[in-house]
Amino acid sequence: MSDERLRRVRDRVRPFPDFPEPGVLFRDISPLLKDPVAFRALIDLLEDHVRASFPKIDFIVGECLDSRGFLIGTPLAQRLGIGFVPVRKKGKLPGQTKTKAALCSLQAELEVQSDAVEPGQKVVVVDDLLATGGTMRAACELLKRLKAEILECLVIIELKALKGSEKLNSIPFYSLLQYD
């Protein structure tokens, strides 16, 4: 992994103390999205990781409760020459869907279209951040109901102190940046 590319990405993550509530240190990727060189470095790093780890993959799945998974997942899927599958808040996808409650403080329900993946297809689930892990776990449970093979959960930022990766029930997990 290129130290220069990783440094460029890390330098574009902005901390916001006491947002959205007192005591929370929010990690904002907006400056990363605004900087085309840093964003390209991010997608390059994720692409390098996925290509090196998984020679056969069918889809990138964007875990998109608030759509940031779309921002990362779609260009990554395009680079890999594969499709992108959205997992969204309930009521945002047309057609027949599968629904699962997210295991987080948001009490949101996630859904995926019932025909999004075929049994046995290999997927990597992508989002910008792993905090408590409840939303990522719910997305994985939806994909398992469709009988997808989840190769890995992949995020830009992991908040290690919240131990979200422990909720993924031994699904392989990779984070580009880690914060306590």
- Give SS3 for 1: coil
Which of these is catalytic: 10, 47, 79, 109? 109
166 is catalytic: no
68 is catalytic: yes
| 102 vs 41: CA distance, rounded Å | 31
User: E strand or H helix at 30, and its extent?
Assistant: helix 30-34
Which amino acid appears at position 51 of this protein?
A: R
Which of these is catalytic: 5, 8, 12, 68? 68
User: E strand or H helix at 100, and its extent?
Assistant: strand 97-101
- Give SS3 for 74: helix
Per DSSP, the residues of 118-167 read -TT-EEEEEEEEESSSHHHHHHHHHHHHTT-EEEEEEEEEEEGGGTGGGG
Point out the residues that are catalytic.
68, 109
